[in-house]
Amino acid sequence: MADNRKQEKDFTKEVDELLPEADAVVKSGKLQEGLDKLFVLEKQTRNAADLASTTRLVNVIVQYTYDAREYALLNSSITLLSKKHGQLKGVIQAMVELVMGWREDVRQKDGTERWLELVETLRSVTEGKIFLETPRARVTLSLAQYHESLSNAATPPATAKDSLQTASDLLSDLQVETYSSMERREKTEFILEQMRLLIALAKMKDAESGKEGKDLGGGEAEWVKARIGGRKVNEDFLKQSENEDLKLKYYDLMVQHALHYNSYLDVAKYYYKVWETPSVKSDVNDKGRAALEHIVYYIILAPHNNEQSDMLHHLFVDPPLARLELHHNLAKCFVTRELMRWPGIESIYGQFLRQTPVFSQEKRWEDLHTRVIEHNVRVVAEYYTRITLLRLTTLLDLTPKQTEDTLCRLVVSGTVWARIDRPSGIVNFRGKRSAEDAMNDWSSDMQKLLGLVEKTWMGMNAALAAQSRVKSAA
């Protein structure tokens, strides 16, 4: 293909004269004879770098083959014209654009088989050409959607998985984030579609292998690819009002990814992003309420750390949460530094929570029980320096073995400091202070004492000075 060639001759007049003649020949039933006449002149215009004339001739050639429904000739003509020596990029772009507009018509009138042949021809012509990367991506997307539809209609699970795998592979091969000719919104749509297919395939593989954790089996490779795809999306771009639909779709995919790994804090943050969307936040009875409820659910399910605690406290004082009485009270239980008895939590919130999609899963209900226990351990550690293991077991509503396991886990994670004296059955929440700690405390106390002495001395001096002024005035 030639680039930046200077036009040597203008063939407009010759083209104007030939087109009616070729049209008459084609209409008389001599399609190939008419095409031959056009091909002869096309070679001359191409060698002369006459872009406008070559484009007209090429478009007429493919139009005649399409109108005649000669698909074998149409596909071969597209391939031949794109590979002609010295063919101009503008000519190929115009031809591909024209042919792409026929895809849906071909599918409806001549069937899927002809449509697939045309799609594969377009993919072959556009392969490896940077100036045709956007049309190739669009054609590939339609082909991927076709294979996905096959997976939905397939009866054997293996066939459905193979079709979905093909659809995912087709889209994953496109590095649309590097395309300079594609609009930013369209890039984002392609990336989200890649993520959606990857997650759908990952779930299918997980269900097939019975593996839903972080092990390397099942669809773990697809889950990792979906996370990488999520990093390609610019979240600032999603904040624009005209991109709200993309924002909601993106965070829905990210929620699915985070739930796969039981990353409850990430899920809460993604739902918070959804809730901040103006159209969602204003819908207080439907989407806004649902998003806020899910934020509460997943923030209390998340393991305790500084980020989780900060987010929970900010959410608790947010006025919209006060309108959800049950959820507000549930958040209050975790914000308040008081013990929560698990039987009481079950009796007050159990019936409602177990009916929600979040806590209908037994694992999440068990995770909630674990978070209540961990909260109680932190409260006990704050108010007690030493407590008997028997008393701690009673407060936590656990068995001695469960109490020890929970305490050990929190100590290892750094949430609390504790040491169990098993012979005496006592749990210590305050460790022995080192000499350095004692000196630091002593130094701090001395600084406070000296500061108080200095403040008192200055006050006494001020009082004495005022008294002497009064006496001298008298």
Angle, helices 362-383 vs 389-396, to 10°: value is 140
What pLDDT is recorded for position 80?
A: 93
What pLDDT is recorded for position 41?
A: 92
Q: pLDDT tens for residues 10-52? A: 889 999 999 999 999 998 889 999 999 999 999 999 999 999 9
Q: Is the pLDDT of residue 194 over 60?
A: yes
Query: Residue 431 — very low, low, confident or very high, per pLDDT cuts 50/70/90?
Result: low
- 58 touches 94 (CB < 8 A): yes
324 phi and psi angles, rounded to 5 deg: -100, 90
CA distance 51 to 92: 10
Give the mean pLDDT of 265-280.
94
Mean pLDDT, the chain, as a whole number?
90
Q: Which domains does the chain have, with CATH numbers?
A: 1-127 (no CATH), 262-383 (no CATH), 386-453 (1.10.10.10)
pTM: 0.84
Q: How far is CA 55 from CA 4, 15, 20, 121, 377, in A?
A: 16, 11, 16, 19, 77
- 406 touches 398 (CB < 8 A): yes
Q: Is the pLDDT of residue 457 over 80?
A: yes
268 phi and psi angles, rounded to 5 deg: -60, -40
What pLDDT is recorded for position 156?
A: 67
Q: pLDDT tens for residues 463-473? A: 888 888 887 87
Q: Which of 62, 31, 57, 59 lies closest to 42, judged by CA?
A: 57
Give the mean pLDDT of 224-248.
93
Q: To the nearest 10°, the Cα dihedral for 393, 394, 395, 400?
A: 10
Q: Is the pLDDT of residue 209 over 90?
A: no
CA distance 335 to 343: 19
Q: pLDDT tens for residues 364-412? A: 999 999 999 999 999 998 899 889 989 999 988 888 888 888 888 888 8
Q: Is the pLDDT of residue 106 over 90?
A: yes
Q: Is the pLDDT of residue 266 over 90?
A: yes
